[in-house]
Amino acid sequence: MNHHVYERMPAGAAADLPAGGFHSGAPTRFWRGKRYVPVRVKFTLTVALALAWGIASYLMAQHWIAELSLVTGSVLAHLIILGIAILPGFMNAFLVVGLMLDRRPQRAEIATYPGITVLVAAYNEQDSILSTLDSLDKQDYPGPLQVLVINDGSTDATMRRLRSVSYPWLQVIDLERNGGKANALNQGLKLASHALTITLDGDSYLYRHALRHLVARFLSDPPNTAAVAGAVLLRNSRLNLVTRIQEWDYFHGIAAIKRLQSLFQGTLVAQGAFSLYRTDVLREVNGWPECVGEDIVLTWAILKRGHRVGYCEDAVTFTNAPTTFGQFIRQRQRWSRGLIEAFKAHGQLLFRWRMSTIFVWWNLLFPYMDVVYTVFFIPGLLLALFGCYWLAGPMTLLVLPLAFVVNYLMFHIQSSMFRAQGLKVRRNPVGFLVYALCYGIVLQPGCVAGYLSEMLNLRKRWGTK
């Protein structure tokens, strides 16, 4: 599996809220004509079945481990097989069962929509910023709207493009020097005048009803919800093979993980590309931290204070993905560094007794699994070409049926969402085959490089998203 996891209101913000605050009404007990199953029951069942699969996988792998032990020793053989087969199998089984049990609760009918502030941090976005603003202008959001575009010292024509347009809801903050994305967002947060703040990248394009859907999901979710991640899909997926591969990662893997994490009340990344936050909570945690992975570190700060972070699968924005393998690797290195930064700042989440804690531990295991995959399994694939099946052989094929189930389930769920939105899943068989068979070979070594960069405290910069 490809991986990648009631305080005071600000002055003047109360007027933005519907009667009764952010959330009102008792939670419904029946959805779509089916009896409501408590989330904790779903969680217990998901963990139990995934553990059963993991134990069965370990028992079936005994002969494999024994053969590898003759080469590496028993301890290292167990660590290798655990990292390349048993743990990924457990995670895949958890994903399958969780997604099968997931039932998206219907959004409540919203009589009055609160005001929202949209922050757009822009650095050298001359080719896309006007399109992003046009997508905001086409939204049908029925409440007050404030859009703050922060030009973060761009050296191209971004500021000139911004001066060429005039919208009643638009304010532009022109920073003379590039200070990084976190600083740009925090400058905008100082001027946010509404109770809800949404972040949007400067090269993103909002699909219809995206703002309305995102806010409605927030208002319909449990009262302790402090943030909701939107759905990010690719805008430039037809450009070349690199973007075609990533289209499946966004469409399949990232969306499925966020959906599962939301079900169990702890989406681990409200991504900066498109997410909603309570403005008072943002100010309570002092906004975005100055680091590479500012969005994941911010999200973990929100979770550490006991809040819930949700996900809205049909609040869609399209964004540009890296167009070369070099840019792609740098992006994933940045994401991996952000994960290590999150553990450095908020590692206490590992010991919080809540359902979402399993995903924090899940993320803690990623560096270990990525190292094992990079150092042992990829060379094992090469050895298998010469008849040495110590690490990759017939046993490896046993993961294919579950991988098929995982991909089919994710495709079915996402396709249903697309149809409901009036979108069409475009044919991309070559991208899917490369994604399914080769993605990890490129992705996981890049992630290992990102972990090492953070542990060695190498230079940080606002690079590829």
Q: Mind listing the pLDDT tens digit for each residue in 72-101? A: 999 999 999 999 889 988 998 999 899 888
Q: Which amino acid is at 313?
A: E
What value does the mean pLDDT take over residues 132-140? 96
Model pLDDT, residue 148: 98
More confident of the two residues 412 and 15: 412
Question: Mind spelling out the 3-state secondary structure of the chain?
Answer: CCCCCCCCCCCCCHHHCCCCCCCCCCCCCEECCEECCCHHHHHHHHHHHHHHHHHHHHHHCHHHHHHHHHHHCHHHHHHHHHHHHHHHHHHHHHHHHHHHHCCCCCCCCCCCCCCEEEEEEECCCCCCHHHHHHHHHCCCCCCCEEEEEEEECCCCCHHHHHHCCCCCCEEEEEECCCCCHHHHHHHHHHCCCCCEEEEECCCCEECCCHHHHHHHHHHHCCCCEEEEEEEEEECCCCCCHHHHHHHHHHHHHHHHHHHHHHHCCCCCCCCCCEEEEEHHHHHHCCCCCCCCCHHHHHHHHHHHCCCEEEEEEEEEEEECCCCCHHHHHHHHHHHHHHHHHHHHHHHHHHHCCCCCHHHHHHHHHHHHHHHHHHHHHHHHHHHHCCCCCCCCCHHHHHHHHHHHHHHHHHHHHHHHHHHHHCCCCCCCHHHHHHHHHHHHHHHHHHHHHHHHHHHCCCCCCCCCC
> pLDDT at residue 115 above 80?
yes
Q: What CATH number is given to the structural domain containing 106?
A: 3.90.550.10
Strands (E), 153-260: 170-175, 196-200, 205-206, 225-234
Q: How confident is the model at residue 397 (pLDDT cuts 50, 70, 90)?
A: low
More confident residue, 232 or 381: 232
**Token pair 């100055």: residue:** 290
Q: In this model, does residue 142 exceed pLDDT 50?
A: yes
- How many Å apart are CA 30 and CA 36, to the nearest integer? 5
pLDDT of residue 394: 61
pLDDT in tens, 25-53: 333 333 344 567 888 999 999 999 999 99
How far apart are the C-alpha atoms of 202 and 206, rounded to whole Å? 11
**What is the model's pLDDT at position 436?**
76
Q: What's the total number of domains in the chain?
A: 1
Q: Is the pLDDT of residue 134 over 90?
A: yes
Which range among 8-17, 185-194, 435-444 has the greatest average pLDDT?
A: 185-194
pLDDT at 254: 87
pLDDT classification of 233: cutoffs 50, 70, 90: very high
What is residue 268's three-state secondary structure?
A: coil
What is the structure's pLDDT at 183?
A: 95
**Cα dihedral 428/430/431/437 (nearest 10):** 140
Whether residue 11 is predicted with pLDDT greater than 50 in this model: the reply is no
pLDDT of residue 193: 96
pLDDT digits (tens, 9 = 90+) for 252-268: 788 888 988 988 888 99
Q: How confident is the model at residue 351 (pLDDT cuts 50, 70, 90)?
A: very high
pLDDT band at 228 (very low <50, low <70, confident <90, very high): very high
Phi/psi at 77 (5° precision): -60, -45
122/393: higher pLDDT: 122
Helix (H) or strand (E) holding 2: none
Q: What percent of the chain has pLDDT over 70?
A: 88
Predicted pLDDT of residue 19: 33
Min mean pLDDT across 6-15, 189-198, 356-365 is at 6-15
pLDDT tops 90 at residue 132: yes
What is the predicted pLDDT for the residue at 188?
Answer: 97
**Mean pLDDT (whole number) for 171-187:** 95
pLDDT(62) > 70:
yes
Mean pLDDT of 205-222: 95
Task: Map tokens 């409200």 to a residue.
Answer: 270
Domain that holds residue 450: 1-465
